[in-house]
Chain A
């Protein structure tokens, strides 16, 4: 599930439930539509509502990072639990995506 709000030039996307391959496929187009429609300079993933995430979630975030970069924008990730943080760290994600508290 995906909830979002636009705060000035940032699009804040809150993901809930379990972010696996199936969920990633099903929200990818919706996310890209939101990016195209709201034209944010910054995309922030709020992961506080996620109960589960595997490497398919990493792929989803990196895919959106590439899209935002092409548009001259940036991506940040916030509020993930220790387990998800470990997966993101392992993947080298924090070298390209800012980690907020």
Chain B
């Protein structure tokens, strides 16, 4: 995908940064003039992936989460949520509805990936145990007819 605008953001793997990540991504998307619906879809998916990085990737411990986002001239939006935490052994299994490795006080239901898939056009997960996880979320934002974005200079 050829982007006309890109951003990159690193932040500590802390729960208080979940809201920040949602806001940062929605702010970055504003030039695409998304509908409230599209904005909320992306915010929800980003929230799921960032929460996973914090609670599963780093198991609540220290770490850095990276967001890389960009969009193309015709409104294809993409965001990567990257951690260098424990990684996922079996990605297929992890993405099944109701699959969770959480137990005890964590109260997770294994719906995060299912939510991401239902609100985005595509969810692509790359992971290596012990090395980390990248979740790539993509969504076509519908541009108004007069709204073709300028090419990058």
**Which residues of chain B from 42 to 82 have a CB within 8 Å of any chain A CB?**
43-44, 47-48, 51, 54-55
Q: Inter-chain contact count A-B, CB under 8 Å?
A: 64
Nearest CB in chain B to that of A52: its residue: B43
Stretch at the interface among A37-45, A58-66, A69-77: A58-66
Number of interface residues of A (CB under 8 A): 22
Main secondary structure of the interface of B (DSSP, over half): helix
Q: Which of B54, B111, B115 is the one whose CB lies under 8 Å from A21?
A: B54
Q: Least Cβ distance of B88 to chain A in Å?
A: 17
Residues on A close to B: CB < 8 A? 18, 20-22, 24-25, 28, 52, 54-56, 58-60, 62-63, 83, 86-87, 90-92
Residues on B close to A: CB < 8 A? 15-16, 18-19, 22, 37, 40, 43-44, 47-48, 51, 54-55, 97-98, 106-109, 111-112, 114-115, 118
